[in-house]
């Protein structure tokens, strides 16, 4: 199942047809609410060549879906290889396929899923982000000599 869209969608549909697997691949297109799709996934895969902060990976982890992803900028902040999911080098389809097969043949333990969820909560929850933003502003104010504005 491919959820989302983009410039590669047409090429992927043609590839599925050329391989004769089009009846086994669901192209769900762009979706506003991915929860229903995450609920039926055995593994979430992101093959991005670049990425900011991948919100959908956060959603997958919080839904308890194991993640296999490429080791690009924002993703490496979220997924710790072997601890909270699997990472492979971007642009290496063989490594991606092997990681998917490994995840499917030996699904993550409940402890691994819990570690992933705890990590996301600790770093990316609203409360955590608010604290991080506050600490950043305090540090910047102090650097500029505005100590009197820093809350005590």
Distance CA 41, CA 25 (A): 13
The per-residue pLDDT for range 93-118, each reduced to its tens digit, is: 999 999 999 999 998 889 989 999 99
- Kindly tell me if the per-residue pLDDT of 151 is higher than 70: no
Q: What is the pTM of this model?
A: 0.81
Distance CA 43, CA 112 (A): 14
72: closest CA among 84, 54, 94, 45? 54
Domain 33-109 in CATH 1.10.630.10? The answer is no
Confidence of residue 150 (pLDDT cuts 50, 70, 90): low
Per DSSP bridges, beta strands 67-70 and 44-46 are parallel
The per-residue pLDDT for range 4-41, each reduced to its tens digit, is: 888 889 999 999 999 999 999 999 999 998 999 999 99
pLDDT of residue 107: 87
75: closest CA among 94, 64, 95, 61? 61
Question: How far apart, in Å, are the Cα atoms of 136 and each of 15, 95, 140, 141, 142?
Answer: 47, 38, 6, 9, 10
Mean pLDDT of the chain: 92
Beta carbons of 96 and 68 less than 8 angstroms apart:
yes
pLDDT of residue 6: 86
């Amino acid at each position: 199942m491919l959820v989302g869209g983009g410039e590669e969608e047409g090429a992927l549909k043609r590839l599925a047809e050329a391989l004769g697997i089009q009846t086994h691949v669901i192209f769900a297109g762009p979706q506003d609410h991915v929860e229903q799709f995450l609920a039926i996934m055995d593994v979430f895969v992101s093959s991005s060549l670049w990425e900011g902060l991948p919100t959908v990976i956060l959603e997958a982890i919080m839904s308890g879906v194991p993640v296999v992803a490429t080791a690009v900028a924002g993703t490496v902040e979220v997924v710790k290889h072997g601890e909270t999911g699997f990472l492979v080098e971007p642009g290496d389809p063989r490594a991606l396929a092997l990681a998917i097969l490994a995840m499917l043949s030996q699904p993550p333990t409940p402890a691994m899923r819990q570690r992933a969820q705890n990590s996301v909560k600790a770093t990316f929850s609203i409360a955590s982000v608010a604290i991080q933003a506050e600490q950043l502003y305090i540090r910047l104010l102090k650097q500029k000599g505005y100590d009197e504005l820093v809350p005590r």
